[in-house]
Amino acid sequence: MAVGRKDEPMAPVHLFSHGSTMMLGEEHQSAKYWEECGNRALENGIEHVVMMGAHWATSLPGVLISANPKPDKSPVAYVHPSKYKNYALNPDLDYVPVVQSYLEAAGIPAQADPKFDWIHDTYLVLIRMFPRGCPPTTLISMNHTYDPHFHMSVGAALRPLRAREHKTLFIGSGGAVHNLYRNVWGPMVKYRDSFAQPTPPEAWAMEFRQEMISALCPGHEEVIPAGEATPGTLIRSTKGAGGPLLRRKVTSLMKHPLYREAHATDDHFMAAMFVAGLCGSKGDENMPGEMGAEDWELTNMVNSQFTLGAWVEAKA
């Protein structure tokens, strides 16, 4: 795994919860935050985006890398095609061998997939983040074993590309609390309203959501006590959010007693492992963490939007 230096300027990393398909068709706080993050990335000269989502996994050893020169988009349920059909995807074919070389140097098998079509877990975020045009983007698959340490090692192998000289922005697209079996689907099916909250979220969802915030924004309760962290409140860490401790915290969440309530399947949690690898070196120990936006859907699904690191700090 790449260790890194403490003095190298590094780009921030995003861990986004893409939620249901309605997150593409409706307005919400997360979309505003995604666009704000996209604007900051462009202002800071980003030329490449590398993403790991939650809907693409391979049964081959290692991972796959998107290399389709003209990828189609998978259909998006409950969303009018005008919201996504005309958005031109921009596969970063020249960057595929770069990503592949870093993975293989770390002993991670990586093959280019020239036929993969993009799924809403990635282009949903890109459309809201970069509404004026998709930047050159590379997608990395998960491995179907959903081994947390393997997916963390994928992020760790690519960490050197966070150096500002590479002009690369990394995004993990998954879910903070994402259990489709425990969602309340009635308002979405009947009224196309995924944001209706006829009843409060259940305690297990609230508690695991708090565990995620504590892992990615350590020390936040010193500024905003848990009972005062109302929707729309910007939550920031007061202690370093990155480093080896982040890797231990995030992987240990899969052993939390409420993990299986929060994630019936592991696919939407692997993005967190990917991000922990990207931000888990000794040189990342003092990086800030924030939860910049959050939306509850379907009563029990919380879409928390996290950023580790900061452009201002990287410029200093």
Kindly report, residue by residue over 210-268, the tens digit of the pLDDT. 999 999 999 988 777 666 666 667 899 999 999 999 999 999 999 999 999 999 999 99
pLDDT at 1: 32
DSSP string covering 152-217, please?
HHHHHHHGGGGBGGG-EEEEEEE-SB--GGGS--HHHHHHS-TT--SSPPPHHHHHHHHHHHHHHS
pLDDT in tens, 106-120: 999 999 999 999 999
pLDDT at 193: 95
Token pair 């909250």 in the structure block, residue = 197
Residue 96 CA from chain centroid, whole number:
20
Pure H helices in 256-306? 259-262, 270-278
Average pLDDT value for the chain: 93
What Å distances lie between residue 150 and 47, 106, 271, 281, CA to CA?
27, 11, 12, 16
Average pLDDT over residues 265-273: 98
pLDDT at 18: 98
pLDDT at 129: 98
pLDDT-derived band at 4 (thresholds 50, 70, 90) equals: very low
Question: CA torsion angle for 59, 90, 276, 301 (degrees, to 10)?
Answer: -80
Taking 80 as the threshold, does the pLDDT of residue 133 lie above it?
A: yes
pLDDT at 231: 63
pLDDT in tens, 281-290: 999 999 999 9
Q: Which helix (H) or strand (E) holds 151?
A: helix 148-158
Secondary structure class of 100 (helix, strand, coil) = helix
pLDDT in tens, 41-71: 999 999 999 999 999 999 999 999 999 999 9
pLDDT at 94: 98
23/13 Cα distance (integer angstroms): 21
Average pLDDT over residues 120-132: 98
pTM over 0.85: yes
> Among candidates 306, 307, 305, 303, which has minimal Cα distance to 22?
303
pLDDT at 227: 66
Average pLDDT over residues 131-150: 98
Average pLDDT over residues 294-301: 97
Question: CA torsion angle for 173, 310, 259, 124 (degrees, to 10)?
Answer: -20
Average pLDDT over residues 17-38: 96
pLDDT-derived band at 312 (thresholds 50, 70, 90) equals: low
pLDDT-derived band at 8 (thresholds 50, 70, 90) equals: confident
Taking 70 as the threshold, does the pLDDT of residue 315 lie above it?
A: no
pLDDT-derived band at 83 (thresholds 50, 70, 90) equals: very high
